[in-house]
Amino acid sequence: MKKIDWYILKKFLSTFFFAIFLFTVIAVVIDISEKADDLVKSQLGVIGIITQYYLAFIPQIIGILFPLFVFIAVIFFTSKMAGRSEVIAILASGTRFNRWLRPYVVGGVFPGLIAMVRQ
């Protein structure tokens, strides 16, 4: 893989993991706000709530939204590259479109393998 491949792959994976982090935090905050009364009634401490509930909830919500994270990451960072005219420069340099998509395929296989191993 060339430098441009590593650049695109790094941008994709960083955007992907940022999207996972961001949506997971949002889901946990919404879940806490909805179940605040139930969590108080359970009389568990903060450590108990985290270990007994959220250690199972977080992987579940990530698994459910995994395809959405990949889609958002690809759309977001590709639009950023297009906005900075990086896509035009890559294609104008003589790089074939199929060759330019190689890091996308590699970057898509990596989260796919994670999703398969998780299940």
Number of domains in the chain: 1
Residue 73 has what pLDDT? 87
Would you say the C-alpha torsion 23, 69, 90, 5 has a positive or negative sign? positive
- How far apart (Å, rounded) are the C-alpha atoms in residues 65 and 11? 20
Residue that the structure tokens 């994270």 belong to: 69
* Virtual torsion, Cα 43, 45, 51, 57, nearest 10 deg: 60
pLDDT tens digit sequence for 21-41: 998 899 888 988 888 787 777
pLDDT tens digit sequence for 51-86: 878 888 888 888 888 888 888 888 988 898 888 888
- How far apart (Å, rounded) are the C-alpha atoms in residues 32 and 26? 10
Q: What residues make up the domain containing 37?
A: 3-118
| Contact indicator for 110, 15 with CB cutoff of 8 Å | no
